[in-house]
Structures are given as structure tokens and as C-alpha cells.
Structure 1
Amino acid sequence: MADYREAFVGIDVAKLKNAIAVAESGRNGEVRYWGEVEASDAGIRRAIKQITAKFEHVYFCYEAGPTGYGLYRLIRSLGHECIVVAPSLIPRKPGDRVKTNRRDAISLARLLRAGELTAVWVPDEDHEAMRDLVRARTSAVETLRTHRQQVNAFMLKHGRIYPGKRSWTMRYLRWLQEQHFDHPAHQIALQEMVETVIAEFVPHWSLAAVVCALRALRGVDLIAAVTFATEVGDAGRFESPRQLMGYLGLVPGERSTGETTKRIGITKAGNSRVRTLLVECAWTYRYPPRIGKRKLYRLEEVSSSVREIAWKAQTRLTARYRMLSARGKKSTVVCTAVARELAGFMWAIAREARQTTS
């Protein structure tokens, strides 16, 4: 038996029990199913202690999922290396249609040993808490939108047409009250309260300066800036804007064979929340460059370098929007192209803000 021994442990996490497999080092190293343990701190600690007692170095991995990063932090606190794996990037055989906890754990251990797994970025606890808060707010907005659609359909079904130009204003809500129909006031209040909570937490957050700087951009307000910061994290981990664009799935895909190269739509890989948010922000660049009264106050709170980047972004992206529209491009394609470049400017501002505060 060799003096130096390594082991690679794959964990298939679940709500109640975690399946564990161990792959010993070397091309012909044994890969075996270790068993199931309770998904509790005590159960995981016992299992880790038993496994690590037989090896000098042990590496752990498990798939990212609803169980979060608690297991990652526990393993790291015990002094062992661990990665959280991106599920969509795990190599799978096309003909493999049998999926069990045992097979998944064995596959993770084998792929970890081969170096074929891609790790996701793991935020710290404060960052994760802010991310959960923003996602809760997003869920509340989706619920509100669904409820509004149901109310509009109900009013139309009964032939009650609002005489005003804009719906979902205070006048519209008063009109709904006069019609004696239920309205989403309680959900609107919930949305306002969640936004207030976010605004209270941001000043004490490690990325508060980044959020403040991002709000200097046109179309980017509190929710957009906080969502970008929580989902992307430290922009410094991306070496270039193009790398961030690829992470967000905003770069065009390609299908090439021989001498034929075909460009297709964007890859839509990576974080869909930020991608969707940027496309929504891009709509504001259809108007000529200008600085509104509310945005002027935001610009006074940031450095001159951030203001220069924000103005450069506005002049370039508005021109880009007009140019692509003049070519006859669809509005959705135009906004996606503008969103891709907007991500680059957000990368530059985030890095500038971190350098200023560090």
C-alpha cells in the first residue's frame, strides 16, 4: 500500500439522507458506494471522520441545489477541500437513463477524480442572505403580476373597461374599489415593505458601494443593482467584460462544421435572473441621452470616474439602440444586444467601485 493516499468523495444530497461514494486515487483506483447518512451536521461529521481517517487527503463535492451551501461550509470548517458542482455542466452519457442516489454519488466521485467537474462560485453567508432577500422580492413581484392579470381578465370578462389611459395607478385602484372587486393592495404593500427592507440592509452590506455605483447607470435602480450584485458577486473574478457576458448567457452561440460557420441566438447559459433583468433595463436606452432629476442625485453620490463610465454607457447604448433599430432589427434582438454591452459597463463600474473602497 502506498504511503500517500488520496480519496475523492461524491455526495448526492437530499432532504433527509445523503448518498456517499468514494473514489481512490489513480487510474485504477477503486470506486465504491460508501452508503447513506442522515442529512444532519452530526451525521455528516461522523461520516467525514470515518472516511478521512483512512486517507491523507480527501476532496469532496456535491451538486448545487435547494440544500444550499451549508454542507460546503461544514466540510470546509473541518479542514477539507470541497466544491459545489454546476449540475448543468456535469458530463452525462446520452444512453444513461437510470438515475438513483447511489449512481449519482458514484458518478460524482469518479468525475471529481478525473477533474471533469465545474465548480460554482459560493458566496459568503451575508451575501447569500442578501441574495435570498432579493429572490423573495422577485417572487413577490411575480405573484403580484399574476394577480393583476387575473383581475384584468375578470374585469374584461364582465365588460368593465377602465376609462383612463393607464391601469394600475391610484385612480385605477380607486376605480376598482368603486366596482366592488378585490384588488392587490395587500400585495403592493408587501412589495413596498420588501423593497424597504432591502434598502435598509444595503448600507451595511459589503457590496453597498457597488450597488450605489451601479445605480448611476440609466435604467438601473435599487432592485436591479442589488440583484446584479447578489447574483454575480465580486465582478473582479471575471477577467474581462466578455467573460461576464458569457457567464450571463448573452453571447451568441455558434455551430460550425468544416468551413461553415453559423451564428445562432444567445447561449442563455448561466444566470437567467440577471440576464432577464438586463434586457428589461436595456429598454430605457431607446430614448436620447439625458440625465433626469432623480438620477442626478444618484450621480452626486458616486465618484467622477463612475460618472464618466455611466455617461459613456448612456451615449453609446442609446446610439447602439438607434443604429440597430434603423437596420430593421426586431426590438427584442436590439434590447438583447444593448443588454450585452450594458453588462460590460456594469462590470467596469463594479470593479471601479471595489477598487475605490479597497
Structure 2
Amino acid sequence: MSKSNTLFIGLDVHKETTDVAYVSDKLDDRVQYHGTINTNLRAFNKLLRYFKAKANKLCVTYQAGPCGYWLYRHLNSHGIECWVVAPSLTPKAPGDRVKTDKRDAMTLARLARTGDINSIYIPDSCDEAIRDLIRCREDAMLDYRQAKMRLKSFLLRHGHPCTGRQNWTEAYRRHLGAIHFLEPAQKIAYQHYINIVTEQFERLQHLNIELETLAQSWRWYPLVQRLCVLRGIRFLSAVTLVAELGDLRRFNHPRSLMNFVGLTPSEYSSGTRQRLGAITKTGNTHARRILVEAAWSYRFSPKVSEEMQKRLQGHSAKLQNLSWEIQQRLCKRDAKLRARGKEKNKIVVAIARELVGYIWTLHCRLTHKVRQ
């Protein structure tokens, strides 16, 4: 029996099991269901040996999910083409109301043969490692905030409300140390809350130091430094944006990047009627949050503060001038939208959307590495 030229394999990957379906590149062949295997390297290696005997080339497709990209890297190490597709971008018939693992695997194999699905961007292992550390820091920040809220709630219940902004400084620690409780149980509970906040704060500071150290040897560190010339974007914001967005050269136009972070308005138009809705909020939520937070800083008049001057040091005069032009442009646009009576949240989104275009420019135009 002759081998097929190309065999398209669809995988529905789960934590413990994976359903497998395949189809050849011949249009008259039907999709075949292979069965269910265990989700481990031994089972996948056995599966690959079986399919290599049936075709000259293998093309494996599976949907992105909580299992990560280890399977993609394992297949690439064996020289096998692999596509990782987004579940939200997988075509589905409106009347299809039946969903099973078997049908999902067969659908992926069929769509791969017809070319109706595209693979998402896969970061390399180093980029993913930096991104994991950044998200670990974000989790530590949330744990730190929750610990402080529990402490403040405890103090509020017992007549010691916290007013204003409290930073975890030595002066504030002395203030907490001056608060006493008569009941032994309350003393224990109070000290427990303080210890948790202290521990979370030290853990957060440790992660900040580790991130700054590891980022200096990262291949995208020059881009991180370049983004720090923008108003509202410091080191943590810049490294988060670069880690979450990945290689920006894969976007041929800044509007493609705007669509990726979900800052473009949705649209439902028909005939002569045009209707624009809220932003799509698709793509990377971490990057969109950082961009919106940075956009709030353009509410104020253009200014090169002392902290901004330190960030501009070491950069070329061309980049410093571009930073000032961007700041003037966005601050002027913010003022113009406020004068027109626009809602402040819509203004911030508009500024964040335009800021995305300048980020694309800083990466692609100044480095002269735009993908042709």
C-alpha cells in the first residue's frame, strides 16, 4: 500500500486523554477517527511512529488550552509540522449543537486539510519563561493586596480605620505596632495578619529584583528600554507588554496589533446602516490592561519630569524627540476629546489604541526590521 503525501492529524488534547483523528490530503478521502490515547510523551511517540508509516509528511493540529505548548515543541523537535489554533477562531456551523472530543478532533483534521484555520503565535521557551515570571509577579501583587485588605478589614472592625493611602513603610509599621488588643485571641489574629502582609511584601520585592536581573540578558531587553521613553510606561509595564505581545514584526500594520489587543470597536453594519459598538476585548488581556493604565497619564499637560529625564538618558536624540512628539500628540488628543464632551473611559481607550500604534513604530520603524 502506497503512502499518502501528507496526513493531517487533529488532536483534542486534555489533561489525561487525547482524542486523535486523521485525514489524507486527497479531497475524496473521509476523516478517520483513530481513538483515544493518554496525554504523555510515550503515547505520542508511539502515535507518531504509527502515522509516519502511513504518510511521507505529518501535519498535527490541536487547540490552545491550559496544557501549554510542550506538545508543540516536542513535535517540532521531531521535525513534524504543528499548528496550534485558537478555539475562538475555529470555524463552527451555526446549527452544530453537538460537541464531543471525537467530533472536535475530526473537525480539526478536516479544517487543517482545507486550510480554514491558522496557527497562533508561539513564543520560544525563553520568552515564555519571562512571561511566566511576570505573571507570577502579578499573582504575588494580588496576594499582597488581598493581605492588606484583610488587615484593614480587621482593624476597621475594631475601631482602627485606615484613612488615606498606606504604603508598607517603616513609619506605617510603627503605627501598626502601636495598636494593641486586650483579648489574647485578637492579639494572635492581628499579628497573623501583619505577618502575612510582611511575607507577601518581601516576596513581591524579591520577584521584582529577580525580574530586573533576568530581563537584562533577555533578547528583547533593548525593546524594553526603548518603550520606557514613553510616558506612562516604566520598566514593569514595558517588560510586561513585550512578554505578552511577543515579536511585533509579525504584525504588518499597527491596526493589526490594535485588533490583537482588543482595542478596536466592534461593528455590526448592514446596507447603508453603520453601527459601532464597544471595543472587542479580544486577544491578550494582560497587555490591554497595561495599555489602558498607561493611557491615563496623558490626561495632564505634556511635561518631561525628573523621573522621565532619567529614563531618556542613554537614548539617541532622535528617540528623545520622538518621545516628546508622541507625548504632545496624545495629550493634545486627550484634551480635544474632553472638550468635545466624550466619556473619560472612551477617551482613555482611544488614547491607548493610538499608543499601540506608536509602540509598533518604536519596534518596527526604528529598528528597520519590518516584515515585508
**TM-score normalized by structure 1?**
0.93
* Aligned mates of 1:338, 1:157 — CA distance in 2: 41
Partner of residue 302, structure 2: 289
Contact map agreement 1:309 1:349 (CA 8 A) in 2:
no
Which amino acid is 1:158 matched to?
H
Contact map agreement 2:21 2:105 (CA 8 A) in 1:
yes
Measured against aligned partners, the alpha-carbon deviations of 1:168-216 in whole angstroms (never above 9, x if no partner) come to: 3524443333335323222121111111111001111110100011111
TM-superposed CA distance for 1:355, in Å, is 4.3
> What secondary structure does 2:29 align onto?
coil
Matched, 1:116 2:116: yes
Q: What are structure 1's unaligned runs of at least 5 residues?
A: none
* Aligned mates of 1:337, 1:147 — CA distance in 2: 34
2:267 pairs, out of 254, 258, 261, with 254
Contact map agreement 2:261 2:281 (CA 8 A) in 1:
yes
* Aligned mates of 1:17, 1:95 — CA distance in 2: 28
Distance 1:35 1:106, change over 3 A: same
Partner of residue 35, structure 1: 35
Partner of residue 126, structure 1: 126
Q: What are structure 2's unaligned runs of at least 5 residues?
A: 181-189
Bigger Rg over Cα: 2
Partner of residue 185, structure 2: none
Tell me whether 306-315 or 171-180 shows the greater mean CA deviation. Answer: 171-180
Partner of residue 166, structure 1: 165
Matched, 1:228 2:241: yes
Tell me whether 144-153 or 275-284 shows the greater mean CA deviation. Answer: 144-153
* Aligned mates of 2:319, 2:22 — CA distance in 1: 50
* Aligned mates of 2:97, 2:150 — CA distance in 1: 40
> What secondary structure does 1:264 align onto?
strand
Matched, 1:339 2:352: yes
TM-superposed CA distance for 1:131, in Å, is 0.8
* Aligned mates of 1:328, 1:161 — CA distance in 2: 38
Measured against aligned partners, the alpha-carbon deviations of 1:11-41 in whole angstroms (never above 9, x if no partner) come to: 1112222221102223331211112223222
Partner of residue 74, structure 1: 74
**TM-score normalized by structure 2?**
0.89
In the TM superposition, what are the counterparts of 1:179-218 in structure 2 within 5 Å?
Answer: 179=179, 181=190, 182-183=193-194, 184-218=197-231
Distance 1:118 1:53, change over 3 A: same
1:267 pairs, out of 280, 283, 289, with 280
Counting aligned pairs with the same residue, the percent is 36
TM-superposed CA distance for 1:67, in Å, is 1.4
Which amino acid is 1:150 matched to?
R
* Aligned mates of 2:269, 2:309 — CA distance in 1: 47
* Aligned mates of 2:133, 2:335 — CA distance in 1: 36
Which amino acid is 2:154 matched to?
F
Which amino acid is 1:6 matched to?
T
Partner of residue 64, structure 2: 64
* Aligned mates of 2:351, 2:146 — CA distance in 1: 28
* Aligned mates of 2:96, 2:152 — CA distance in 1: 47
Aligned length: 355
Which amino acid is 2:237 matched to?
A
Partner of residue 17, structure 1: 17
Say what the alpha-carbon RMSD is for the aligned residues.
2.0
* Aligned mates of 2:255, 2:302 — CA distance in 1: 25
TM-superposed CA distance for 1:324, in Å, is 1.4
Contact map agreement 1:212 1:301 (CA 8 A) in 2:
no
Measured against aligned partners, the alpha-carbon deviations of 1:51-87 in whole angstroms (never above 9, x if no partner) come to: 1211122211111112111111111121221111111
Partner of residue 245, structure 1: 258
- Off by >4 Å, runs of 4+ in structure 1: 1-4, 352-356
